[in-house]
Structure 1
Amino acid sequence: MQGAAEAVSRYGQRLLDDPHFHVAARTWRRWEGEVGQRGWPPEATAIVLHDALGRWPEELGFQPPAGWIRPEAHQEADVNRRTFVNVTAAALVPGPTATQYVDPALISYFQEQLEGHYRADMLLGPHDLIGTVSAQYQLIDKLVRSAQGETRSGLLRVGAAYAALVGWLYQDAGDLSAASFWRGVTQEIAARSRDPHLFGYSLVNLAQVRTDLGDGYGVIDLCEAALVDDRLFPKVRVMAMQQQAHGASLVGDRTAVDRLIDAADGLISRVDDDLPWGNACRRTPGYLEVQRATCYGRLGLGREAESLWSQVLDAVPATARRDRGVYLARHATAAAGAREPEQAVDIARAAAEIAVETGSARMRRELGILEKAMRPWHDAPVGRDLAELLAPVHEGS
């Protein structure tokens, strides 16, 4: 039993490129003693068992959960094709449209609607808003084809902001392909508007997707490209610097993280533009310390990240429930990194509840990172407590 558990552990560490993957001898012993009624293993363990033994867990006597579908049975190609069609249909309306008069007051109308969408996103999450916001983008695109002069320029600017929001909604929903597509639309419309601030913002948007893809140098390249333009408003520079800090954390450069966050902090008091987009740095309490804490967690600085999250969360309002859930998940991961597993599970309880309510893929991803951080305690009571409280999250994914 000991040898089998060690062999699977070594195999899993190579397969997953994760030195912390481990199957304990007593876990293996429990499996062998529970023929016909074994509990379902964690997803990573299921993948390792299949790759090592050529059998899926249910073929080895484990009891599959309701709705279990083998990965090989997923019709991923069809799903991806349907998603692509739906996404592009919302952004690309072919051919010219009938000419119509476009009142300049529509610019203010769409800007006011945009602010409402930002507030609704914090309360509802992505899934209920994607259709509404992308439909409004379609309308703006239609109006741009008839508008003239400054009205056209104004609609292009607000259209880029709507495209950026749709991209964010897809990113929060976990669809990075659709998010990348809409970030590309944002960049195109920003370029057509000839607004340097909006174009810099579009590059930061692209860098956000690169952050989620774990491409640190890609993040840095895009943010440096944005910061080359000395004309940028302080808000855009703050956004580019904090995003570049995320890129630096992905490549393990703590010095650059602190330098960039500190430089952004020196600019944030000068953010005074009336642009309707990119206002998270003004409306999010402790905005830059949130970024620093996230970067520290990514760098493995558990105790420093845990201390920052404790301060940040005290200032998060109840209306920012989804952001609070993400921060709680990151706080729990930092506690695990600080070797405080019981505290990590206590913090994770509230995050799991919010994840179930909102359906945010970003939150589920953060809780998945927590699960990896908690692997040293996988077979301990605290590890089983975590698995139990995260079960509803996995069922809703």
Structure 2
Amino acid sequence: MSEPAQGNTRFVTARVERGWHTQQDFADAYDAKAESLGEKARISVRQVRRWESRQPAWPNRDARRVLDAMFGTPLEDLGFVRPPRPAGRRASGTEQSRDVETNVLRRTFLGGVLAAAAPVLDLAALDHLIAANRDARRYSDDQLVTHLRTALDETARTDGLAGPHIALPTALGLIAAIDSSAREADPAVRHQLLNVGARASELVAWIYHDARAPAHTIAYWHAQAKEWATLTGDGAMHAYVLLRQAQATDRSDAARMLGLARAATNGPWTLPPRPRAEAYQQEARALALTGADTGQVTRVLDLAHAALDQADPVQAPPSCTGPLGESYTADRLMVQSAICYREAHQPDRAVVLFERHLADGIFAPRDRAFFTAQLAGTLAEAGEPDEAAIVALQALGLAAGARFGQALAELSRTADTLRRWSRRPAVRDFQERLLVFTAG
């Protein structure tokens, strides 16, 4: 886990984005890069702290060469301030004004609540975030709530279609607009803003989860969603966030997953039928991961089906700001049940459910990529390596362009399972293509 961003947050987020989660990680990587470049100078954690302070000194020539090779971006984008130009070289007044405005806006976002969550954004994405926030300020209070709902729904659709890296900047911009507007709004409008804010924060947590962000970043946004749900008295939303936390929990921590899923259905709140069905399904998966027998897993899945049977028909296309869990259909429950049976070491049973309901169901590209990757892994566990490799290539085709992180993680897991069949042509083809994509 990285240290808290209290000074030069742009440097911190840039190093975390590249996988150097601690200052020592970065110092070690710097020394290795310096050696490869033939530079003799080495750095300590103390030097990293200086670069991450509020006023980092402009690095010397040797350090600039190493930092440029490590980040591939101008030092100004890492929070360093270039020394003044020599006399006689001055930017035009228009350029100075534009640069000052952009830098102030960037410092505002990176110095506030968004920096605390360590968003993994490049400068182009950050500019998009700023634009989303600035656009929201054109509306009156009542118009603003409507605008935010519409924009959030569109952002959720973008996430499902184009992936987390496209959707994230706009989602963060909407939260910035909500956070700043709610401070000055009258109580009725503030309540509506925070209601949208809870939905937006939960979406951001999910986007970060799909982008394979650090656990503490995802946890930050789940906490924000629950805080705003609590302030608006939205118990169902609080429970829904618990469900989403369970879904974001790594399968290696089945006990936590189980506790969160059960809390979503057993707490002092009432989940609507569709998300309640999803919570029961997540509980069944956690039970399978803890080693519960298949009969117990099936009994909890029966509770999920009973809950879904109580749901009213969906009256309109599901949306992020509409009724909770409206996109949870019978086909989705069945493919997620297949995941449960896979975790319960019943791959043949899982394959049947996957193949039937992936063919029948309507899923966003992100979800189809993830479920197809799950099918590939299940086929591998069922001893069908060639079929698993063919399906895995289909999933890679769905996931690669948009960088759907959960699907890609499942494909890596599938590649591990298929390693003992690496000499088979179909398996080798999949593994090579996955390696090329990962290296790229």
Aligned partner of 1:28 in structure 2 is: none
Out of 280, 283, 300, the residue aligned to residue 260 of structure 1 is: 300
1:377 aligns with 2:401: no
1:350 aligns with 2:394: yes
Aligned partner of 1:297 in structure 2 is: 342
The one-character-per-residue Cα deviations of 1:36-71 (angstroms, maximum 9, x if unpaired) are xxxxxxxxxxxxxxxxxxxxxxxxxxxxxxxxxxxx
The one-character-per-residue Cα deviations of 1:268-292 (angstroms, maximum 9, x if unpaired) are 2433489825755536561101211
**Shift of the alpha carbon at 1:124?**
0.6
The one-character-per-residue Cα deviations of 1:311-364 (angstroms, maximum 9, x if unpaired) are 1221244x7222222111111111111111111111111112222211122121
Contact 1:286 1:315 in 2 (8 A): yes
Out of 204, 215, 235, the residue aligned to residue 196 of structure 1 is: 235
Contact 2:278 2:333 in 1 (8 A): no
Out of 299, 310, 327, the residue aligned to residue 270 of structure 1 is: 310
Residues 101 and 383 (structure 1 numbering): CA distance in 2 closer, same or farther, change over 3 Å? Answer: closer
Contact 1:171 1:209 in 2 (8 A): yes
Contact 1:364 1:393 in 2 (8 A): no
Number of aligned residue pairs: give it.
310
Out of 327, 347, 351, the residue aligned to residue 306 of structure 1 is: 351
CA distance in structure 1 between the partners assigned to 2:322 and 2:211 by the alignment: 20
CA distance in structure 1 between the partners assigned to 2:111 and 2:431 by the alignment: 35
Task: Answer with 270-279 or 225-234: which moved more.
Answer: 270-279
TM-score of the aligned structures, taking structure 1 as reference length: 0.70
**Shift of the alpha carbon at 1:101?**
10
**Shift of the alpha carbon at 1:194?**
1.4
CA distance in structure 1 between the partners assigned to 2:351 and 2:155 by the alignment: 32
Task: Answer with 188-197 or 385-394: which moved more.
Answer: 385-394
Residues 264 and 139 (structure 1 numbering): CA distance in 2 closer, same or farther, change over 3 Å? Answer: same
**Shift of the alpha carbon at 1:230?**
5.2
1:341 aligns with 2:379: no
CA distance in structure 2 between the partners assigned to 1:238 and 1:182 by the alignment: 24
Task: Answer with 120-129 or 105-114: which moved more.
Answer: 105-114
CA distance in structure 2 between the partners assigned to 1:230 and 1:183 by the alignment: 17
Aligned partner of 2:290 in structure 1 is: 251
Partner AA of 1:290 in structure 2? V
Aligned partner of 1:123 in structure 2 is: 161
Aligned partner of 2:264 in structure 1 is: 226
Aligned partner of 2:173 in structure 1 is: 135
CA distance in structure 2 between the partners assigned to 1:359 and 1:140 by the alignment: 28
Q: Give ranges in structure 2 of 5+ residues lacking alignment.
A: 1-44, 53-69, 71-77, 79-108, 118-137
The one-character-per-residue Cα deviations of 1:183-242 (angstroms, maximum 9, x if unpaired) are 1111111111111111111211222222x2531111121222222235332233223222
Contact 1:91 1:138 in 2 (8 A): no
**Shift of the alpha carbon at 1:387?**
1.7
Residues 239 and 157 (structure 1 numbering): CA distance in 2 closer, same or farther, change over 3 Å? Answer: farther
CA distance in structure 2 between the partners assigned to 1:328 and 1:87 by the alignment: 40
Contact 2:386 2:424 in 1 (8 A): no
Aligned partner of 1:35 in structure 2 is: none
TM-score of the aligned structures, taking structure 2 as reference length: 0.64
**Shift of the alpha carbon at 1:128?**
0.8
Residues 394 and 138 (structure 1 numbering): CA distance in 2 closer, same or farther, change over 3 Å? Answer: same
Task: Answer with 274-283 or 246-255: which moved more.
Answer: 274-283
Aligned partner of 1:330 in structure 2 is: 374
Aligned partner of 2:29 in structure 1 is: none
Aligned partner of 2:57 in structure 1 is: none
Give the match's secondary structure for 1:369: helix
Partner AA of 2:285 in structure 1? H
Partner AA of 1:346 in structure 2? I
The one-character-per-residue Cα deviations of 1:94-149 (angstroms, maximum 9, x if unpaired) are xxxxxx99623433332222221221111110001111101101101112112233
Contact 1:234 1:270 in 2 (8 A): yes
Partner AA of 2:152 in structure 1? L
CA distance in structure 2 between the partners assigned to 1:190 and 1:181 by the alignment: 14
Out of 260, 281, 286, the residue aligned to residue 331 of structure 2 is: 286
Give the match's secondary structure for 1:357: coil
Aligned partner of 2:38 in structure 1 is: none
Residues 140 and 221 (structure 1 numbering): CA distance in 2 closer, same or farther, change over 3 Å? Answer: same
Residues 255 and 176 (structure 1 numbering): CA distance in 2 closer, same or farther, change over 3 Å? Answer: farther
Residues 387 and 348 (structure 1 numbering): CA distance in 2 closer, same or farther, change over 3 Å? Answer: same
CA distance in structure 1 between the partners assigned to 2:163 and 2:225 by the alignment: 21
CA distance in structure 2 between the partners assigned to 1:289 and 1:88 by the alignment: 42
Give the match's secondary structure for 2:291: coil
Partner AA of 1:302 in structure 2? P
Contact 1:180 1:209 in 2 (8 A): no
Instruction: Spell out the pairing of 1:235-246 with structure 2 (5 A cutoff).
Output: 235-246=274-285
CA distance in structure 2 between the partners assigned to 1:255 and 1:277 by the alignment: 35
Residues 151 and 91 (structure 1 numbering): CA distance in 2 closer, same or farther, change over 3 Å? Answer: farther
CA distance in structure 2 between the partners assigned to 1:86 and 1:350 by the alignment: 39
CA distance in structure 2 between the partners assigned to 1:341 and 1:394 by the alignment: 21
Contact 1:102 1:146 in 2 (8 A): no
Partner AA of 2:199 in structure 1? A
Instruction: Spell out the pairing of 1:363-374 with structure 2 (5 A cutoff).
Output: 363-374=407-418
Give the match's secondary structure for 2:360: coil
Give the match's secondary structure for 1:347: helix
Aligned partner of 1:392 in structure 2 is: 436
